[in-house]
Amino acid sequence: MMRTEQRIALRQPLASVVIRVSNPLSDESIAILQQELNVLCVELQKTAGSGDAIAVQFDWEITEELKQRGQANFLRRTIQDLRKQAGLQAGDAAEVAVTGVEAAVLPLLQEQLPHTMIRSEMEEGKEELGRYVDEETGITVILSRQSA
């Protein structure tokens, strides 16, 4: 069963995946799998057979923490798009106001964007560089220049 069949977005991290392999995988291969599959934990199980056969089993349960991480991933991508549309370069400082999300999402987002000031509301007098509004979820993201 795949993410599309489960209706789980690619940016939504999963808790774990169990991979049954007949031959051991390197730490580098495991790290690549973890990143590409967007899972927090990769568990390997040795199979009795030999050859190149691999079996994969995902943990499809989305906990509250995973939901928050998925929301932070979505917001990171949204902020990166707003920065690009505003013509900001990688080193340009910016502030972002995010509303309509649980408070626990903001620290996760701050971890992903350490050089961007993340706030729960827009400060008065800031020059707005970009805005994203999701009417369905009530999420609003406002990008502005960071104060010196």
Q: What is the pLDDT of residues 7-28, one digit of tens each?
A: 988 889 999 999 888 888 899 9
Q: Which residues of 55-92 are buried (b: 16+ CB within 10 A; e: fewer)?
A: eeebbeebeeebebbbbbbbbbebbeebbeeeebeeee
Instruction: Single out the residue of 98, 49, 56 nearest to residue 76, CA to CA.
Output: 98
pLDDT tens digits, 71-88: 999 999 999 999 999 998
Question: Which pTM was predicted?
Answer: 0.77
